[in-house]
Structure 1
Amino acid sequence: MKRTLALLLLASLTAQAQAPKWPAITQQAKPWTRWWWQGSAVNRADLTRLLTEYDKAGLGGLEITAIYGVKGAESQFIDFLSPKWMDMLTHTLTEAGRLGLGIDVAQASGWPFGGPWVTPADASKYVAYKTYEVKGGAGLAEPVAFMQKPIANAVGHKVDLKQLADPVAANKNLQALALDQVRFEKPLPLQALIAYSDQGATEDLTAKVDAKGKLAWTAPAGATWTLYALFQGGHGKQVERAGPGGEGDVIDHLSKPATEHYLAHFDKAFVGHNVKPIRAFFNDSYEVDDAQGEANWTPQLFAEFGRRRGYDLRQHLPALFGKASADENQRVLTDYRETVSELLLENYTQTWGAWAKTHDALIRNQAHGSPANILDLYAATDIPETEGENLTRIKFASSAAHVAGKPLTSAETATWENDHFLSKLSDVKKAVDRMLLGGVNHVFYHGTAYSPAAAKWPGWLFYAAVEFNPQNPFWTDFGKLNQYTARCQSFLQAGQPSNDVLLYLPQSDAYTRPGKVLLQHFDGIDHGFKGLPVEATSELLLAKGYGYDFISDKQVLDVKNAGAALATSGGARYQTLLVPDAHLMPLLTLEQLLRLATNGATILFQNQTPADVPGLGNLENRRVNFQKLLAQFKFKDSQGGVRQATVGKGRVLLGPDVDQLLAKAGVRRETLVDNGLQFIRRGRAGGHTYFLANWGDQPVAAWVPLATAAKSAALYNPMTEQNGLAAVRATAQGTPEVYVQLAPGETCLLDTNEAAATGPGYPYHTLAAAPQPLAAPWDLSFLMGGPELPAKQQVRDLASWTTLAGEAGQKFSGTAAYTTTFAMPEGPADGWLLNLGRVAQSARVQLNGQLVATLLGPVYQVYLPKYQLKPTNTLTVTVSNLMANRIEDLDRSHVDWKVFYNINMAAKLKENRGADGLFTAEKWAPQESGLLGPVTLTPASVGAPAQ
């Protein structure tokens, strides 16, 4: 097949041509890190010293989170938000500003929001219920009462509830107690007593119960009555990982007064201090209901439910607790969950966001885990933040940002890579890449513990598995990862999202599913939507290369027509909206979809149109109107099993096959995924930016098709920093293809242009012959680390330094240099590909005294152009390993380095847990370390790829 070829060759370029330029690296483009202030035991000198270290390493900013303290440092503890704590914060803000670092602040010491100033009235609550049977003509002999069962749970030990004072904040030594949940045995206040007869009658008896629980009521004759008594309890959830002065009850997130009272405490603490440099306040996920029971109640719930749902919940308490008909149970439960979702959005998230604006600050929020539509919570957040390893989960935060027009999506990144001290920079890079592919463009490492200069190695640490601290040997090469991330994010923070499909999130189908508890918590597809058709559909879209964003019912109402396209409230444009086999849909949503279609849009229904409306209020009227709307879809058979209904200027498509639906709608997938690549795409004036990743175990060197128009493209390698105009050609169909070379684990940025461009070409490498071993002896010198530096030696056969350097090498964590000399290889090559083989774990390569590359893996190779070589060359490879071997030595020697309050170094993997249940490396064998080889040189030519 004849193809039009438009190759941009290196040899044909003029000397005056300018290379493509990297975007400027801003504070925001650099990665940030969570900065743990353990016990808030900080001082000015160490704050300045560490901020300087972080700046040198290429971090852009820090999020201060005050948490539990370190044993032995009690005299240095500073109470959260105390005047001294505020002085330390002010010093940090001043020094960070001097260094050009940004600062966010967590809005609690630990998480979720809570503390000693949270009163019982403002603390999280739950509902308990009890039923009584009364025959007609009889009364209720027993009192209407509920005694709360006591709970006293702590982290890492048992606690005697009898030894605790009420309220919890009144107790001493809360750091050592490390309380997780406390409920005292006490009678609970009655919220409602409703009688239901077997004849369908209902009576509200709440006012007929006296202070002792005595009911003054005789059941009407002729029926048997079931009485439902609801009581309000204190959930008892305590702030997790709280530091001094931050311990106490978690707030009632459903109550606006509780949120306002909580935030007013910060206003009081801020008086007299300049907090304007704080960029954003942060919330570390919901995590209220990871204790016993759930925070499923607020004092105003009955009133709010009636106002929002249009009927009195007290008339349907049996249905709320699953004791009515299946249909009524589901409808009332859905309405209850919808009400809770709205209260969490309005009374917590939006109230918090409005408060932050009074301090000229943003809010950064992890909405996942909430008993709510988390798309709406994320959309109400200035910087939505996600975490995890599943791309569909990550996309909830980025989808909300894209739909709502938020420029940044952040991510708690690399929380648990492997287990403690086993996390390689290549692991972290893959975690970063995963976030970028999911739409994140503002990475936060998790995390960096403040550690004073006086602390013995390994210093102060956090219990999650990756320690982004200067005492970690990988800090030597950490700056390269930060530079890489900044290069990527400098592109991905620019332009606009460029996804084609809005994927409707069937929240009502999720709400209607009963569970063991009243609430349902949402954390991406896997938690809340597992087993619903949207799960498979979202994974299919990813696998097939369709760019999409999730959208909620609330967000759908703000979508506008833009010709045949759809424009969201944030200005993003999409070709279509896909409803993934939803059974239930709110009437307002269906009305909006019909309106959009009537005005020119294409709306897709997978498998079926929704059959019914959710909820109970005004049900029959809503059902009638719903069916009238559906009746306007006059579907007719079309090609490929897709049925089509013309509606006004637009159309509605129906069919079981998502591929066929999207093809009929004119949506093109990015078939580059068939080459084993993963991608995310952003748009800009005149072109697009692609971030491509090769996660396979084989290199990719191929012509890659694009689904967007392009006559030219600039190619950027964010790790090597090479760039140039890519080879671009048009297929017979007129679609563009770009030549891409990516090693396993490698990524690139492709900046396309709909117009032609001239400039230096990208330096593609073609291997010209077989690899040649670099077998000269190596001088091995240990540069820095501990517990001691092994002796220098000459090495003929590369192997782990745990073997080469004996017992000292087995214990050593740090950095060593391998130096050798070699003659310039013979042959006509443009240069040589230096491959280090296996490396444990990161390496810096110097040739003739000049740094040529920092290699993080999984492939350790760098191209050496011929002009850099001399007749005789000196090659130095400086390798850093992990903390593991030195930690192993400490544990074997029973050195107590785990000196932390609260959670004291929990292990991710059960094989790494000792008899006390805590992490131990005592049984580990020494981890391979150093340059393992084989090291080879392969002749290579540079130029445009063959057609």
Structure 2
Amino acid sequence: IQQCFVVLPQKIQLSWPEITRQNKPWSRWWWPGSIVNPADITTNLETYKAAGLGGMEVTCIYGVKGQEDKFIDYLSPKWMEMFTHVLKEAERLDMGIDLANASGWPFGGPWVKPEDACRNINYKTYTVSSGQKLTEKIEFRQMPIVRPVGQKPDISSLNYPISKNRNLQLYAIDQIKFEKPLPLYSVVAYSDSGKIINLTGRVTSERDLEWTAPPGNWTIYALFQGWHGKLAERAGPGGEGDVIDHFSGRAIDNFLKHFDTVFKDYDLRSLRGYFNDSYEVDDASGQADWTTDLFNEFYLRRGYNLGDHLPALFRKDDPEKNARVLSDYRQTISDLILDKFTSHWTHWANKQGKRTRNQSHGSPGNILDLYAASDIPETEGSELTKLKFASSAANVTGKELISCEAATWLNEHFISTLSDIKNAADLFFLGGINHLFYHVTCYSPPDEPWPGFLFYAAVELTQANPLWNDFKALNKYVARVQSFMQQGRSDNDILLYFPIFDRFADSGRRMLEHFDAISPAFRDTPFKTAADLMLSRRYAWDYVSDLQIRNTEVNEGMLQTEGNIYKTLVLPGCKYIPLETFGRILKLANDGASLIFYGNIPENISGWADLEEKNYAFVQLKEKLDFRETGSKDILRQNWEKGVS
């Protein structure tokens, strides 16, 4: 270990920063069935305070069997009475409180109407030839499915929508689809000579197609919009219901209006902020891969009509066209979850003076942008290359706090040790995380027999755990580390471009790909190799997205992002990159920034719109690159005399 000694004047005294509640570790506070009362809330909070916790995140989950008579419905007047008592007592104890914006996860509840619930797309194809009429009905029936965690119900005995049923705690349903005909979304015919005809208006109420095929052989694509059926997982009483459509601004706005209505008569000034758990909408059968306004949103963002290219969307056209149209579709979904969901939610919270804490991982979009759109990005896991997605987004955009769901499921209950938890915490610190949330402290009445109320995926940081008596020592350590990390700013040197468009263009098995860590799909790519190499050689670096690059400038040879400065940008070899991104990167280099092409220069531009024109511009940019020998093996240097912009 290297040591550095500095002689200071005697009058200067170094002192440890004052430890605040924000410096201390916080913990998720599961409320099973919301079986709480004021006296026990106070007792628990005082115990948590004494153990060195700085705050709690309240999240309601499914209830405890045999205690149904004590359940309190989520967001009911009685529940709000309990929650405001939490806020008052936490303020008295100098503790912070966050609130999950749903009971369980993801965002959903009984007030989510079918038109705002998460959707999927289904399609059927039909073939006709010149002069023929289609004799088949244009229809699609959704098949039933029910996935409970508890007792399996007879789906035929359940009412639609699911929120109309009683005793939902008995079933703890994660996903349900009722058998029914799906509404028609679009019908388009494609001829073997390249002609396209929209036939949506030719379908009768009896689902007959009133159309005679013109000359040629025709393939008809009929789209049907269905319901993904995902419900809020592990929701507590009063919180069971459909998950929202994350690609619809109307859906999130209607969802949050319910909170506005419930909260309007209560004093929530001491509430710090709201929490959103990881995107697990598709932790189910199938995917939520559509939204009602998708065709319009796609046209506004990509500049062409997706309905004219359905064979490519469903991978039935030329492979290169399939890749480009699919990439545009996935980019649009990424845009929608950013613009319609995450940004809407953060704006709603900020208007109240609250912060959002968001687990973006698992989303079908660029998680760097989704993390950056929240006030406190939050990660989880045990891989540095995964943790750095959240910390990179915060560093690049200048955010104060980066949180984590820490020690989620290190081992079976009561087996994990304090050293296990410390090792997990240290890894988060190495990943740039400075605001730990333990997973989990489960609410339990003080007089509940051992082991009290527990949650299955948890290290069980409760009074029932033998390590509780020494828990305070670990929390002191975490608080001291975080007290320094939170007052500083990251000083990483390198930006590593995240080549998400290579994944957007990959056929895959499903419509959407979800982004979490560096997935196995990146194995043996220059991107993963560069990340692993820089970690092994102790370089300090952050990921950077296309959007963040577009917001980057050059200042005295340094890369100036929205919230930080960097020395170098690494562009790993990739197959696809947006023309705007590539042009911006070369302009940054031409303006004096240090740029490293690692592996190879990007091969193609992404997307389908204006392909010939954009490809010409892309080739022109690449032709301006003039690399010269440096005398070092495998290293070439750009000749900047003629520039590249």
TM-score past 0.5 threshold = yes
Asked whether 1:578 is paired with 2:578, we answer no
Tell me by how many angstroms 1:21 deviates: 2.2
More strand by share: 1
Residue 596 (structure 1) aligned with residue 593 (structure 2) = no
Query: How do 1:157-168 residues align onto structure 2 when only pairs under 5 Å count?
Result: 157-168=151-162
Supply the distance in 2 between the matched residues of 1:124 and 1:410 (Cα, whole angstroms). 28
Q: Which moved more, 1:143-152 or 1:604-613?
A: 604-613
Letter paired with 1:80: Y
Establish whether residue 489 from structure 1 lines up as the match of residue 443 from structure 2.
no
User: In the aligned structure 2, how far is the partner of 1:8 from the partner of 1:637?
Assistant: 44
Q: CA deviation at 1:464?
A: 1.2
SS in 2 for 1:347: helix
Q: 1:558 — aligned with what?
A: 551
Kept in 2, the 8 Å contact 1:599–1:648? The answer is no
44, 51, 63: which one pairs with 1:50? 44
Which structure ranks higher in relative contact order (CA pairs < 8 Å, sequence separation ≥ 6)?
2
Q: 2:440 maps to which residue?
A: 447
Cα deviation, residue 650, structure 1 = 8.4
1:635 matched to 2:631? The reply is: no
Q: What TM-score comes out, normalization by structure 2 length?
A: 0.97
- Greater share of helix: 2
Letter in 1 for 2:538: G
**8 Å CA contact 1:600, 1:650 repeated in 2:** no
Percentage of identical aligned residues: 51
| Partner SS state of residue 502, structure 1 | strand
Aligned residue in 2 for 1:860: none
**C-alpha distance 158-423 of structure 1, shift in aligned 2 (>3 A):** same
Aligned partners of 1:56, 1:257: CA distance in 2, in Å?
Answer: 44
| Conservation of the 8 A alpha-carbon contact between 1:601 and 1:650 | no
Q: What is the count of residue pairs matched by the alignment?
A: 643
2:327 alignment counterpart: 334
Aligned partner of 2:483: which letter? S
Aligned-residue offset at 1:498: 0.6
The answer (yes or no) to whether the contact 1:367–1:378 under 8 Å persists in 2 is yes
**What code does the residue aligned with 2:584 have?**
Q
Q: CA deviation at 1:163?
A: 1.4
The answer for the alignment partner of 2:62 in structure 1 is: 68
Q: Which runs of 5+ in 1 are unaligned?
A: 653-947
What residue number does 1:416 align with? 409
Contact 2:378 2:405 in 1 (8 A): yes
2:226 corresponds, among 227, 233, 252, to: 233
Matched, 1:171 2:165: yes
Structure 2 equivalent of residue 251 of structure 1: 244
1:310 and 2:282 are equivalent in the alignment: no
Equivalent position of 1:467 in the other structure: 460
Matches within 5 A, 1:348-359: 348-359=341-352
The whole-number CA distance in structure 1 between the counterparts of 2:540 and 2:250 is: 41
Alpha-carbon distance, 1:135 to partner: 1.3
* Aligned residues of 1:165 and 1:171 also touching (Cα < 8 A): yes
**1: CA distance between counterparts of 2:11 and 2:303?**
69
Q: Which residue of 2 aligns with 1:503?
A: 496
Find the aligned partners of 1:193 and 1:119 in 2 and give their Cα distance. 26
With over 3 angstroms needed to count, the CA separation of the structure-2 counterparts of 1:457 and 1:543, relative to structure 1, is same
- Show the 5 A alignment for 1:24-39: 24-39=18-33
Structure 1 match to 2:183: 189
Check 1:646–1:23 CA distance in 2 against 1; reply closer, same or farther (3 A cut): farther
> Quick one: which amino acid aligns to residue 584 of structure 1?
Y
Map Cα deviations across residues 785-826 of structure 1 (whole Å, 9 max, x no partner): xxxxxxxxxxxxxxxxxxxxxxxxxxxxxxxxxxxxxxxxxx
TM-score, reference length from structure 1: 0.67
Letter in 1 for 2:596: L
How far did residue 249 of structure 1 move? 0.3
Residue in 2 aligned with 1:295? 288
Q: Contact 1:603–1:651 (CA<8 Å) still a contact in 2?
A: no
Q: Which segment drifts farther, 367-376 or 606-615?
A: 606-615
Provide the C-alpha distance between the structure 1 equivalents of 2:468 and 2:520, rounded to a whole number of angstroms: 35
Distance (Å, rounded) in 2 between the aligned partners of 1:558 and 1:603: 16
Residue 584 of structure 1: how far off its partner (Å): 1.5
Q: 1:275: Cα distance to partner?
A: 1.1
Q: Give how far 1:362 is off.
A: 0.6
**Match runs of 1:313-712 below 5 Å:** 313-526=306-519, 529-570=522-563, 572-641=564-633, 642-647=635-640
The secondary structure found in structure 1 opposite 2:233 is coil
Partners in 2 of 1:574 and 1:410 — Cα distance?
23
Of 104, 109, 113, the match for 1:115 = 109
| Other structure's SS at 1:261 match | helix
8 A contact 2:526–2:598 mirrored in 1: no
Task: Write out per-residue CA displacement over residues 183-202 of structure 1, whole angstroms, 9 at most, x where no aligned residue.
Answer: 11000011111101111111
Instruction: Provide the secondary structure at the position in 2 that maps to 1:497.
Output: coil
Q: Which moved more, 1:37-46 or 1:155-164?
A: 155-164
Instruction: State the alpha-carbon separation in 2 of the partners of residues 460 and 381 from structure 1.
Output: 32
Kindly state the Cα deviation for residue 648 of structure 1 after the two structures are TM-superposed. Answer: 6.5
Q: Cα gap change, 1:443/1:625 in structure 2, threshold over 3 Å: closer, same or farther?
A: same
Corresponding residue number in structure 1 for 2:278: 285
Alignment deviations for residues 822-853 of structure 1 (CA, whole Å, 9 cap, x no partner):
xxxxxxxxxxxxxxxxxxxxxxxxxxxxxxxx
1:527, CA displacement in angstroms? Answer: 6.0
- SS of the residue 1:496 aligns to: coil
CA separation of 1:44/1:5 partners in 2, compared to 1, >3 Å: closer, same or farther?
closer
Within a 5 Å distance, the mapping from 1:255-266 to structure 2 comes to 255-266=248-259
- Inter-partner Cα distance in structure 2 for 1:528 and 1:248: 34
Q: Distance in 1 between matches of 2:118 and 2:413?
A: 34
